[in-house]
A = this chain, B = another copy of it.
């Protein structure tokens, strides 16, 4: 807010006008809130000699100017970030039907489990004698994940799904190499998530795309055409990104195995089949799981997650090491498999994320996990039925935990695109579905309600989507009108890149930006 009398913008840590409760102003950055000489920090009494920087650091290394961070009081700091949280949607505020992302409610008990001092304050290099609890947890979790996926052994190191994919591809590589084979290609469906081809490249393979057929499933004939001695394997997610179960999976597995290829299971959609069926039983050799989707590691605004990889017996000896193991005497330790591909993480994986997932699995149990899958599929199925007629359903057949709708007709009729639907839905009090993915569906709206949303929420979501479809195109284009900022100019962000506060042009936003670095205290 700019003072009309002075024309100068006051940057104040105590003004809440950016909190949507109060107004829709911008929230100043940390750097604008900074005032020379302020600090929130305080340090333990150490009793140590107070050697100066010059005594401690050789002159040629010592900095001449302190690194500028920000200078802010604890009060302003807390208020700033608290206001920022009021400018952020989250599962704890409402439904988040982002397809492929599984934004379920994450039980609070998992937060508490992961913050236990006896788990949080353990150094990763501490020897097994001091970390028996952690090792037991990891061994148990590996067993459970194997049991859920139908695999033989697992590594917990990969910190996310994509890291799991690459780990899996390196396992594939190592296995083929051990067979003395040089393979070059990995097949992925055209509906696959972008991390799949990106990982294939990093794994040293070429991506060969297999199209989906009119059912939305892998075109088996087309797949057969692509299978040859150069094929290292295939990466599939099942249910696939259309939310459809690959019904021909057994046939596919047979065909791939026939040419000596391996099957990789992208476990991003594991939520749909918990306790119903297992990748191992379908014929997969390598499975990664996104614990942050299936097992309630909250997504944290983009991470952290955890992407363990489980494998069939023949791949077990290639897993990254060291692996946590249970010794015969019941104690726990570490072991590196004979032909390990090596570490894929600086330590043992995203430990506290693994602990969260473990507590979630304990709470649900085998029965509860199956109920998770059932309710997730029931919710998605109900919503597909309800929206049929209002939105296009390009593949209107039994879906699993998610389904893809489309705004094709809406666009034709009123110019309402998938993006407009997404933005209008924000006004309705819901996060938007995933849009324009998978790439094979025009104007895609990929909807995954998850099992923690109640039937009442599904009704409300459906009603909102129906209202949007009944709207005028103009109304949809103007959305969102109730959020702290309106539609954001993404093109400008890319064209005129401002990746840091220090990169801001002196008059970047055309208004008062230039004043804001000046400490308002100077104006007393």
Contacts and interface: CB of A to CB of B under 8 A. Distances in A.
A87 B457 contact: no
Contact of A105 (B75, B107, B427, B467): B75
B453 A75 contact: yes
A428 B35 contact: no
B87 A21 contact: yes
Interface residues of A, number: 72
A459 B520 CA distance: 8
Given A22-B89, A94-B83, A459-B520, A73 B452 contact: yes
A73 B521 CA distance: 50
Contacts of A95: 14-16
A43 B275 CA distance: 24
Contact of A21 (B25, B93, B459, B464): B93
A5 B466 contact: yes
Residue from the set A75, A78, A482, A484 with the largest chain B CB neighbour count within 10 Å: A75
Contact of A456 (B12, B86, B382, B483): B12
A25 to B, nearest CB: 7
Interface string A1-34: 1011100001111111111111111000000010
Contacts of A461: 12, 14-15
A86 B89 contact: no
B521 A456 contact: yes
A25 B21 CA distance: 12
Contacts of A439: none
Interface string A452-476: 1111110111011011001000000
Contacts of A515: none
Given A1-B429, A4-B467, A15-B430, A23 B457 contact: no
Residue from the set A11, A79, A466 with the largest chain B CB neighbour count within 10 Å: A79
**Which 9 A-B pairs rank lowest in CB-CB distance, beginning with the nearest?**
A17-B429, A16-B94, A14-B457, A12-B460, A75-B105, A14-B95, A20-B20, A12-B457, A10-B460
Interface of A: 1, 3-5, 10-25, 33, 35, 38, 73-76, 78-79, 82-83, 86-95, 105, 107-108, 382, 426-430, 452-457, 459-461, 463-464, 466-467, 470, 482-484, 519-521, 523-524
